[in-house]
Every structure is written in structure tokens, then in C-alpha cells.
Amino acid sequence: MDFLMLMCSFLILYPIFLLWRWVDDKRDKECYVLDYECYKPTDDRKIDTELSGEVIKRNKQLGLNEYKFLLKAIVSSGIGEQAYGPRMVFAGREQNPTYEDGILEMDEFFKDSIEKLLSRSCVSPQDIDVLVVNVSMLAVMPSLSARIINLYKLREDVKVYNLTGMGCSASLISIDIVKNIFKTQKNLHALVVTSESLSLNWYTGNDRSMILANCLFRSGGCAILLTNKRSLKHRAMIKLKCLVRTHHGARDESYSCCIQKEDDHGRQGFHLDKTLPKAATRALVDNIREITPRILPVRELLRFMIVSFTKKLSQRSNNKAGGGTNNRTMINFKTGVDHFCIHTGGKAVIDGIGFNLDLTEHDLEPARMTLHRFGNTSACSLWYVLGYMEAKKRLNKGDKILMMSFGAGFKCNSCLWEVMRDLKGDDNVWSDCIDDYPPKTLTNPFMEKFGWINDEDPSTFVLPP
């Protein structure tokens, strides 16, 4: 009888024990962001309208048509007067940058942002278990990750991932690496360092598809501290809910729409093809199709299916009757998402995502203002956008944030974060200027100072000294 009672107890309690272990293990597999620090270069690195004009004038490869093209590109870029550039541009050496220029650009970022992040978080460099560094267009020996390890004296057993060639979507790829490591081990700290190198990748030729990158990309960087420690949950800013990566590299058109190459004269640059908008839209649609069921409530998915089906039936009837309609059926992302953190790849990128997700100007404001203040800072741009939301005190406990980014390859990556506590943003990269945003106008003064180029006669055009 006692044995039977013991067996019954075992059969009842053991499944409960297994369930408890499963839940307990799952809790330790969460991915939290404890803090992040966006890099703000010194004021002497601001590229304003006047300097932009001087840099363009220094390129003797350009003719009148190229000047007109760049004038139009800069005016319509959405970038303001305070974005930052590499030091070699201010020294007038963009035609012949040195290896040390690239190293200096990264060192200034590393020494500023990583140090501030660890100090504010009260985390010692010795506590870092995982280091992920992504700088797409700078490969050095030893690697940039080794440079950080040496600078901050990280442990000998730190797990290191050094990413290059991942483009503007590398930040979320780095987060995905950390997330997967957190699934296998408990009580870890991870440091993600994301930036881009402009010094050694400034294009000095006259190919329009390549010189455009000089107008769009600016200097920046971000250091992000993550953990899966349950004891630090109360200190966390945001928690990762899900992450989806879409890669269209198998398609030749998508692969070659953003690519580093040499022009006809052997000058290296970053080629942006006319097929880029099409490739980006295709990647975005595929990515949205996969992440939507994971982040939106069932009621919204059912509503969308019913409305779509009803409209298709209606369109068939109208077509038979000789009519027709092009009304789109839009899914309401705001039923599961409170804030949209969009990559600042350019004004067209922000407009395109806004159109496809049916977003308002309020939703797009953080991305537009980040593009205006900091420009396209590549993979780290998402964190400047997040910083804007935080500084504007938009982020409250329980809110959901959808991050979306694009990158060469061609890739579209997205993820959903949950805000773990009310975020005040009192001490971030926006603190000293947030009251000035949004400004009354985003008009670029480049046209006012250099608009005379549009009135020049090609046969008599002479660049002023």
C-alpha cells in the first residue's frame, strides 16, 4: 500500500517537477538590455552646409552635372546641419586617407561610449562574457574586437564574434547572436559594439551610384550591454520578445543592389543600384509576413483575413461588371506595437516603411529626427532612434517597440522589444538638444548657399576657388 502511494505521488509530482524546471530554465533564457550608450563625436566633427560644399568642390573629378546631382541629393536627404563626419575630411585628406584614420575613428568611439556604458551600469570589463563587434567596412589585424579586449582587459575566456560586411542591419544580427548564446548558458553579460567606418571608404570619383553614399552616411556608434541574469531583471530597460531575419542573397538582383566595388578608374566606393528600392520592398514584405503572426493579436489577424477575403470577392464582382478598385487592405500593426524604431537609411526608406505599415507622422518622427540630427549612421542608427523615443519620454513599462533595419546582402531584420520600466532618457545622446526637436522646418540650407549651380551654363561653367 505504501509502495502504491509512493508510486502515485511520484507520477503526480514528477511531471510537475519537469514543468517547473522547464519554466525555470526558460526564465534564464531571456535577453535583456541593461543599458546602451550612443556615441556623440566632438563638435569639431560636425559637417554643416558650408563644409559639405567645400568637400564637394575639392573633388576635381566632378563636372556641372555631378554638382547638380549632389545638390539635389543633399537637399532631399533629410540630414541637417549637425551630423558628424570623420576627421580626415576636416583635414582635407579624403583623397588619400591613411590606415590610422580608420583606427582613430574607431578608437574615439570605443574609448568614449564603452567606458561610459560600463561605468554607468556598474559592470566591470571582467564581467563581460560575450563580445560582439560589427563594423562592416573596416577589417584590421588584429581585429577590432581584439582591440577592445586589449583596451579594457577583458577575460581570456570571453566569447568573441567580429562581424564585417553585414551592412546597416548588423546590429540586429549581433543581438540575434547574443540571444542564441543566452539560450545555452545562464548568468551572462554580453557587450555589443556597433558602428561603421567612413575614413577609408570615402569615394573620390564621379560615379553617381557611388558618390551618393558620401551624402548619406555619417559617423556614429553604439555600445549595448545585455544580460540573461534573472537577478538583474528589475534593472533592465527592454526585453527581447522575438527576432526575425530575412536574407535575399540568393537573388542576384538583391545581392548586387548594395555592393562595395571599384569604378571604371579603380576608385573604391559603395555602389547603390537603381534596383535597391525594389529589393528593399521585397525583403520588407517577406520579413513582415513572418514576424506579423508573432507580434499581433489573433483578433487583428482574423480581421485582416476576413476583410481581405471580402475585398477579393468584391473586386471579382466589380471586374465582371467592368469596374475595379485598387484599395489596399492594411493590417493594423498598432494593435500589437506601440512604437516603431526604423533604420534611418534615408528619407525614402522611412517613407517606404511608413507607407507599407500605414504609420502616422507621429510614428515616423523618431526616425526622421534622428536622420536630421545624426544622418545615416548605419547599423547603430536604430539605437539613436530608440534614444529619441526615450528622451521624449514616450517609453513606458509594458510598451512594445518594433525595430526594423535593412542591409547589404540584401537583408531585412526586425525584432520586438518590451519596455521593462518607464524610461526617462535624462542622460542620453539627445539630452542637450531634445527640446529643439522636432524643429519648425527640416529645409536644408544647401540650396540657399549653392543653388547657383542650377543656373550655370555647362559650356562656361568654372568652379569658383
Chain segment 339-368, per-residue pLDDT in tens: 999 999 889 899 999 999 999 999 999 999
Residue in the block written with cell 547657383:
452
pLDDT value of residue 64: 87
Catalytic residue among 247, 287, 341, 444: 247
> From the centroid of its chain, how far is CA 134?
12
Catalytic residue among 31, 38, 168, 257: 168
Would residue 234 show up in a list of annotated catalytic residues for this protein? Answer: no
Catalytic residue among 343, 412, 428, 444: 343
Beta strands in 343-399 (DSSP E): none
Average pLDDT over residues 182-194: 96
The secondary structure of 295-358 as a DSSP string is HS-HHHHHHHHHHHHHHHHHHHHHHHTT----------GGGT-SEEEE--S-HHHHHHHHHHTT
Which residues make Cβ contacts (< 8 Å) with residue 169, sequence separation at least 6?
Answer: 343, 379, 405, 406, 407, 409, 411, 412, 413
Q: With pLDDT > 90 as the criterion, what percentage of the chain qualifies?
A: 62
Q: What's the pLDDT tens digit per position in 75-84?
A: 888 999 999 9
On the question of pLDDT at 174 being above 90, the answer is yes
pLDDT value of residue 162: 95
The secondary structure of 441-461 as a DSSP string is ----THHHHHGGGGG--TTT-
User: For the CA atoms of the chain, what is the radius of gyration?
Assistant: 25
Catalytic residue among 339, 380, 415, 428: 339
Would residue 258 show up in a list of annotated catalytic residues for this protein? Answer: no
Would residue 247 show up in a list of annotated catalytic residues for this protein? Answer: yes
Instruction: Report the distance separating Cα 175 and Cα 226, nearest Å.
Output: 9
Q: What's the pLDDT tens digit per position in 264-303?
A: 889 888 899 889 989 999 999 999 999 999 999 999 999 9
pLDDT value of residue 324: 53
On the question of pLDDT at 318 being above 80, the answer is no
The interaxial angle of helices 64-75 and 208-216, nearest 10 deg, is 40
On the question of pLDDT at 328 being above 80, the answer is no
Strand-strand pairing, 159-163 and 130-135: parallel
Cell output for 145: 574586437
Task: From residue 45, give the alpha-carbon distance in Å to each of 87, 208, 330, 440.
Answer: 7, 25, 43, 25
pLDDT value of residue 363: 97
Q: Provide the 8-state DSSP code for 440.
A: S
Coil vs helix vs strand at 39: coil
Query: Cis link prior to 142 (omega < 30° from 0)?
Result: yes
Question: Per mean pLDDT, which range of 39-53, 258-272, 285-299, 324-338 is the poorest?
Answer: 324-338
On the question of pLDDT at 325 being above 60, the answer is no
Cell output for 257: 543592389
Categorize the per-residue pLDDT at 117 as very low, low, confident or very high, splitting at 50, 70 and 90.
very high
Q: What's the pLDDT tens digit per position in 401-458?
A: 999 999 998 999 999 999 999 998 778 999 999 999 999 888 888 888 888 888 887 7
Q: With pLDDT > 70 as the criterion, what percentage of the chain qualifies?
A: 91
Catalytic residue among 287, 376, 413, 428: 376
Q: Which domains does the chain have, with CATH numbers?
A: 30-301+331-447 (3.40.47.10)
Q: What's the pLDDT tens digit per position in 304-317?
A: 888 888 887 777 76
Would residue 168 show up in a list of annotated catalytic residues for this protein? Answer: yes
pLDDT value of residue 286: 95
Cβ pair 181, 246 in contact under 8 A: no
pLDDT value of residue 49: 87
Catalytic residue among 189, 248, 271, 372: 372
Q: What is the pTM of this model?
A: 0.90
pLDDT value of residue 322: 57
pLDDT value of residue 118: 97
Q: What's the pLDDT tens digit per position in 243-257?
A: 999 999 999 999 999
Length of the chain: 465
Of 143, 147, 151, the C-alpha closest to 118 is 151
pLDDT value of residue 451: 85
Average pLDDT over residues 14-43: 79
On the question of pLDDT at 28 being above 80, the answer is no
pLDDT value of residue 316: 72
Q: What's the pLDDT tens digit per position in 121-163?
A: 999 999 999 999 999 888 899 999 999 999 999 999 999 999 9
Would residue 376 show up in a list of annotated catalytic residues for this protein? Answer: yes
Cβ pair 174, 33 in contact under 8 A: no
| Cα dihedral 379, 414, 428, 435 in deg (nearest 10) | 110
